[in-house]
């Protein structure tokens, strides 16, 4: 039986459509929700992400504000920008685009954001609310994964879930969200002994390690649900051919652009062994933006209604 492809673009559109009447109600009774995005420097990937977030805000009828700062910005200068946004009554959500330039204290900047406007869910207060399973903004990528599972009818309760990666952005909050839905959760990382054996125990396998196609057939139990959070660029055609098992469509894309994007799981192995999986691109990525919009609308509702 062919694996089910968990299409993040479809779920993204579902979430955004559900947000539209809530945004319209806020705009008619109070004001439209406002999101401020702060970008320091000119990192190409960050430029793309910020542009996508701003476009989505505009399409939904939300207010978007960009603060673009030079690479030379100091921690103190960035903290002043955050302070002003905290005090701005038209702004409900603040997102500081990571990574920040070397020399800027990222932790100090994230801690300075008003927890009520922290739509990334990274402030220590909101991390505590996540751990305690109290209401509050959840980190966007893990929250998007949970929506993807729920809307595709994939049960979590009682399942063995293995997460590869222990970052504060994905791995740790992903574990908490799955645990709150009664999964039995294992977190693996660079020091895990016999990683392949741990992964093969998973009925739900989440890869969030940032290493191109690191997880292969030996890591995937046949019939597992595989969630690939990784986004890695492959610029070797030979490597692209190997990873895609010679897929003509993917190779044609490589020939047009000179690269393809691949996740942390070997795509051909994942498609062959999983019962359901997220493609890269088009799986988890679109949901991160959808959940950012959702967190911003919820923040506006808490402040205005």
Catalytic positions = 53, 97, 120
For residue 4, give the H/E element and its range.
strand 4-5
Phi/psi of residue 260, nearest 5 degrees? -135, 160
Going through 54-146 in order, the beta strands assigned E by DSSP cover 63-69, 93-96
- What is the distance between the terminal CA atoms of the chain, rounded to a whole angstrom? 48
In this structure, are residues 223 and 204 in contact, taking their beta carbons and an 8 Å threshold? no
Tell me the C-alpha distance between 277 and 269, whole Å. Answer: 11
Contacts of residue 39, defined as CB under 8 A and 6 or more positions apart, other chains included, come to 46, 47, 50, 66, 67, 68, 69, 97
In this structure, are residues 280 and 5 in contact, taking their beta carbons and an 8 Å threshold? no
Q: What SS3 state is found at 186?
A: strand
Distances, alpha carbon 133 to alpha carbons 137, 138, 179, 186, in Å: 11, 10, 10, 19
Q: What SS3 state is found at 167?
A: coil
Q: Are strands 260-262 and 232-234 parallel, antiparallel or unpaired?
A: antiparallel
Buried b (16+ CB within 10 A) or exposed e, 261-291: bbbbbbbbbbbebbbbbbbbebbbbbbbbbb
For residue 187, give the H/E element and its range.
strand 184-188
Q: Name which of 100, 108, 28 is nearest 70 in CA terms.
A: 100
In this structure, are residues 267 and 215 in contact, taking their beta carbons and an 8 Å threshold? no
């Amino acid at each position: 039986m062919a694996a089910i492809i968990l299409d993040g673009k479809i779920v993204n559109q579902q979430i955004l459509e559900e947000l539209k009447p809530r945004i319209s109600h806020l705009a008619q009774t109070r004001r439209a929700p406002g999101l401020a995005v702060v970008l320091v420097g000119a990192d190409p990937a960050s430029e793309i992400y910020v542009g996508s977030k701003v476009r989505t805000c505009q399409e939904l009828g939300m207010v978007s504000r960009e603060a673009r700062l030079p690479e030379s910005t100091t921690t103190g200068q960035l903290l002043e920008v955050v302070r002003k946004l905290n005090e701005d009554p038209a702004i409900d959500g603040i997102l500081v685009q990571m990574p920040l330039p070397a020399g800027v204290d990222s932790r100090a900047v994230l801690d300075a954001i008003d927890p009520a406007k922290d739509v990334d869910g990274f402030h220590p207060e909101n991390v505590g609310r996540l751990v305690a399973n109290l209401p509050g903004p959840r980190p966007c990528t893990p929250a998007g994964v949970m929506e993807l599972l729920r809307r595709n009818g994939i049960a979590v309760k009682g399942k063995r879930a293995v997460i590869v990666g222990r970052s504060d952005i994905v791995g740790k909050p992903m574990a908490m969200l799955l645990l709150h839905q009664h999964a039995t959760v294992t977190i693996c990382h660079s020091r895990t002994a016999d990683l392949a054996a741990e992964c093969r125990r998973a009925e739900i396998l989440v890869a969030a390690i940032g290493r191109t196609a690191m997880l292969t057939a030996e890591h995937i139990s046949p019939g597992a649900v595989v969630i690939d959070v990784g986004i890695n660029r492959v610029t070797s055609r030979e490597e692209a051919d190997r990873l895609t098992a010679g897929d003509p469509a993917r190779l044609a894309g490589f020939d047009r652009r000179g690269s393809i994007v691949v996740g942390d799981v070997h795509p051909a192995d994942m498609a062959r062994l999983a019962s359901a999986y997220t493609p890269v691109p088009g799986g988890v990525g679109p949901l991160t933006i959808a959940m950012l919009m959702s967190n911003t609308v919820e923040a506006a509702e808490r402040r205005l209604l």
